[in-house]
Structure 1
């Protein structure tokens, strides 16, 4: 029997990238899945990928919704309960680094960018966790948050600007995104202690460079994004493994953390999956020669 047979999973931000890959793996492992995103065309692509892989339509709940809004969150939860009657797993995957339309970086970015970034990457996770809590208490369920190595103790450089100017002096230009992911890591740890008394486990994954739509959302077109991932993979000081991660690399870790039989003793932890990048961050852009 598939390991998630009979389980119901909500995956935010599942219209592409890591969320789409996770939805496919969960569904192939027998789960009922609620997929969601703001772009109806991309979300339909995800649904079709699941159907073509042999997933029954009755196991898919596709919801076009904005997870940063209360109404969008309620729609996700209510339609899931209406179709599947319960919730076993919440995957808080939706997230992005939001560029300032003026081109400003660092602390020169508008406070509106800060607010939007934290609303998407942190506040929506907190709100979804609060709203799903009573349902996960009933099922003794699981929560997996998708964080980032950007939330670590190092300052995070703007890889995009440095792709265009390899010799530039690095500045922590993704400052609000990094703040949001750092806060998400703390929320994961603290909520894990708060919720384990109800039988709910909370953990997270911190990806490094993964070939998704993230870089495009941050300002590069598709062709430039491809060059970016190729450039990063070719530089061992950036990714020691020599290859950019793929969405399924992270999705398999998500399923591991959602599988109580395999990861029951892991509580409030974040698994870093970055091809070794964080081992090099302190000297990442130095040239010893």
Structure 2
């Protein structure tokens, strides 16, 4: 029997991409899953894939809403607990960037974009985690945050996005140190390039997204020789959430990028 059989999981941002792939993996392993996003049609597709993976209809809860809305955060937790009785795992996957000011220096971008990135990538994680803690404490559960390798890169085309993800990494560490006293484990996975619609959601065109991803699919950019897919990250999230496999990992920030961070700007062929 899988560790996740009967466990209750919330995966934010699960209407597409990494969130969808992760929700489907949890469903495949017997978990009861709350899926959430802003697009009803996309969320319905996630549910369909969860059912195809083996979930029962009563084991999937769909909630449509804006993750930065405080009242929706409250509803996300209370509705999950009301339906399933408890909460074992929170996956803070929802987040995003903005391509409106791509390539500009950090001081040339309006500060309003910084506020937007902090709200989307940090504040809602703190708020939702705080609401989840009383329930996770009862189950000795886990929180897995999804950050980004841009948190550690000095030069990215979206400075405020990178800054918000760096903040999220520190939030992960601080939460881990605090919440382990309650028996709750907190860790983070920081993906590199992954094939999702994230850039389109951020404001890019489909052609721009395809061009960017197409330019990454070689060993010069990604030593592994291919771009990531949602399952690559979802499997790591499940590993962090599985206490039987990763109980000794607390406050870890795991880079999952196919080797991107190994590349040297000085020694390109090293």
Report if TM-score (shorter chain) is over 0.5: yes
Q: Using the TM superposition, give the Cα deviation of residue 48 of structure 1 relative to its aligned residue in structure 2, in angstroms.
A: 1.5
Distance 2:150 2:104 in 1: 19
Alignment-derived partner of residue 157 in structure 1? 156
Distance 2:94 2:210 in 1: 22
Alignment-derived partner of residue 215 in structure 1? 199
Alignment-derived partner of residue 232 in structure 1? 216
Distance 2:254 2:242 in 1: 14
Q: Using the TM superposition, give the Cα deviation of residue 9 of structure 1 relative to its aligned residue in structure 2, in angstroms.
A: 0.3
CA contact (8 A) 1:148 1:206 kept: yes
TM-score (norm 1): 0.88
Q: Using the TM superposition, give the Cα deviation of residue 105 of structure 1 relative to its aligned residue in structure 2, in angstroms.
A: 5.6
**Following superposition, which runs of at least 4 residues in structure 1 exceed 6 angstroms of deviation?**
none
For residues 4-153 of structure 1, the aligned pairs below 5 Å read 4-100=4-100, 106-152=106-152
Q: Using the TM superposition, give the Cα deviation of residue 229 of structure 1 relative to its aligned residue in structure 2, in angstroms.
A: 1.5
For residues 183-198 of structure 1, the aligned pairs below 5 Å read 183-198=167-182
Distance 2:225 2:268 in 1: 18
Alignment-derived partner of residue 235 in structure 2? 252
The one-character-per-residue Cα deviations of 1:88-134 (angstroms, maximum 9, x if unpaired) are: 00000001112337996632222211111110100000111111111
Distance 1:53 1:146 in 2: 23
CA contact (8 A) 2:141 2:185 kept: yes
Distance 1:178 1:131 in 2: 26
Aligned residues: 269
CA contact (8 A) 2:100 2:203 kept: no
Distance 2:200 2:155 in 1: 18
TM-score (norm 2): 0.94
Determine helix, strand or coil for the equivalent of 2:216: helix
Q: Using the TM superposition, give the Cα deviation of residue 287 of structure 1 relative to its aligned residue in structure 2, in angstroms.
A: 6.2
Is 1:2–2:2 an aligned residue pair?
yes
Distance 2:24 2:268 in 1: 42
Distance 2:156 2:79 in 1: 40
Structure 2: stretches of 5+ with no match in the other structure: none
The one-character-per-residue Cα deviations of 1:33-54 (angstroms, maximum 9, x if unpaired) are: 0000011121111112212333
Determine helix, strand or coil for the equivalent of 1:233: coil
RMSD between aligned alpha carbons?
1.8
CA contact (8 A) 1:143 1:200 kept: yes
Distance 1:52 1:205 in 2: 26
